[in-house]
Amino acid sequence: MNDTSEKNHLSNVKVSNTDNHICINNPDYFLTFSDLEISDGIDIVENIIILKDDVKNNENLDIEGLIGLTEDYKETNNISGSYISTFSNDLEYFTNTYDDYGILNIISNDVSVEDFTDKLKVANSPKGFKDARIDLGEVILINKSLSPKLLINIYKTCIKAKTKFFQGLNLPVHINNIINQNDFLVIASNLPSQDYDEEYMDSGVDITQAEYDDESLDIPKFLKDLEESVIINCEDSVKRMGLDFGILDYLVSEGIQISDLVDAGFELCVGVDVTSDLKNRLEEEILKSLTDINVIALLMAAIRTEQDFENNRLREVDISDDPAYLYTDEVLGLAISNQIAGTKATFNFKRYDEKKPGIIFGLGPMLDDIFAGLIAGCMSKIFEE
């Protein structure tokens, strides 16, 4: 990436970037509220700096070390003036602008969607899902002079909107666990009009007595507009990352691998020479079944239902002891086996449901039956061929 710069819709704000930093500069000063590493809370600064993690050289630095590192980086790259800053794994960014504000979105993503078969994909990361991260940092630049109290209110509103958006996606658990573990949010507005020369700034600015634009705003509408804009920017970020999730991702989130299902399938196979070829045929049949929209719908119905049950989202339901009167799980398991291999598979389902071989034994009350149905159907299919 070459050095670039662009004018933000705020008249004097300039965004510049290199491979190792993004710098948002306002020579007329920002009044900010943020959760950055250096420094969080209320600040008056000329620069908002996001440095790439690589600048730290993987050193475990305390706050003083991070400040020293940032100061050295500023000097080397001819960045002058006061600042707040933080670090990000990646520096890909885009901006969306509105009437009175703009949102700069910094995306950091270790996950990509890869082909698993010609019809199935899976989300993966070279870092593994223990260390992988998906972070969305945002800098909201407001072309108004707003009070510290309103900046804090805006911050709370935007955090809630962002949290609400990602909760609403109902992502696979292992993906949800790595989202926004190192994200950040900056709310930056103009300082009230005044001559902010160096001597005046050195003597200290009394932000409590300044005249702000709060009274000229319809604050409830402004906050609502910001909330909707944050959600739209989150949607845009997810699209730009190319992240979507399929049935294999939800199997991974439950700790289920295709090889586990193959092993469970042959545990009840008596009097048959279990060859590598036979295992491969079962694997192929399982993967084929996982492209059937009806099988997917039945699997996801059980996965979502079990999540609701386990998290006590329905006051009328208690599955702590796998109640005998809960038989919808068997209905779904029977439906899956029948969808894959017809009536014969429904009889095979009874064996797998009762014995619960392999990984099926450790699954919850909804999942054990649906995967018993999946295996029963696929086993019936390969032995009828």
**Which token pair is 3?**
């050095």
The set of residues, in sequence order, having a beta carbon less than 8 Å from that of 119 and lying 6+ positions away, is 291
Establish whether domains 4-108+134-237 and 254-384 are of one fold.
Answer: no
**What pTM value is reported for the model?**
0.86
Residue among 330, 247, 243 nearest 292 (CA): 247
CATH of domain 4-108+134-237: 3.60.70
Provide the pLDDT confidence category of residue 4 given band limits of 50, 70 and 90: very low
Domain 254-384 in CATH 3.40.50.300:
no
CB-based burial label for 106 (10 Å; 0-12, 13-18, 19+): buried
- Worst-scoring range by mean pLDDT, 60-64, 139-143, 182-186, 361-365? 60-64
**Which token pair is 145?**
């002079």
First to last CA, the chain: 56
pLDDT tens track for 65-121: 999 999 999 999 999 999 999 999 999 999 999 999 999 999 999 999 999 999 999
**pLDDT above 50: residue 170:** yes
Distance CA 283, CA 85 (A): 50
**pLDDT above 70: residue 200:** no
pLDDT at 198: 56
Distance CA 367, CA 375 (A): 12
**Which whole-number Å values give the CA distances from 187 to 30, 140, 230, 239, in the listed order?**
9, 5, 12, 24
pLDDT tens track for 174-189: 999 999 999 999 999 9
Question: Which residues does residue 122 pair with via DSSP β-bridges, in sequence order?
Answer: 114
| 8 Å CB contact between 95 and 105 | yes
| 8 Å CB contact between 85 and 70 | yes
User: What's the full length of the chain, in residues?
Assistant: 385
Question: Which residues does residue 21 pair with via DSSP β-bridges, in sequence order?
Answer: 51
Mean pLDDT for the chain overall: 91
**Max CA pair span of the chain:** 91
pLDDT at 209: 74
Domain residue extents for the chain: 4-108+134-237, 254-384
Q: Which long-range contacts (CB under 8 A, 24 or more apart) does 69-72 make?
A: 70/38
Provide the pLDDT confidence category of residue 7 given band limits of 50, 70 and 90: very low
pLDDT at 202: 53
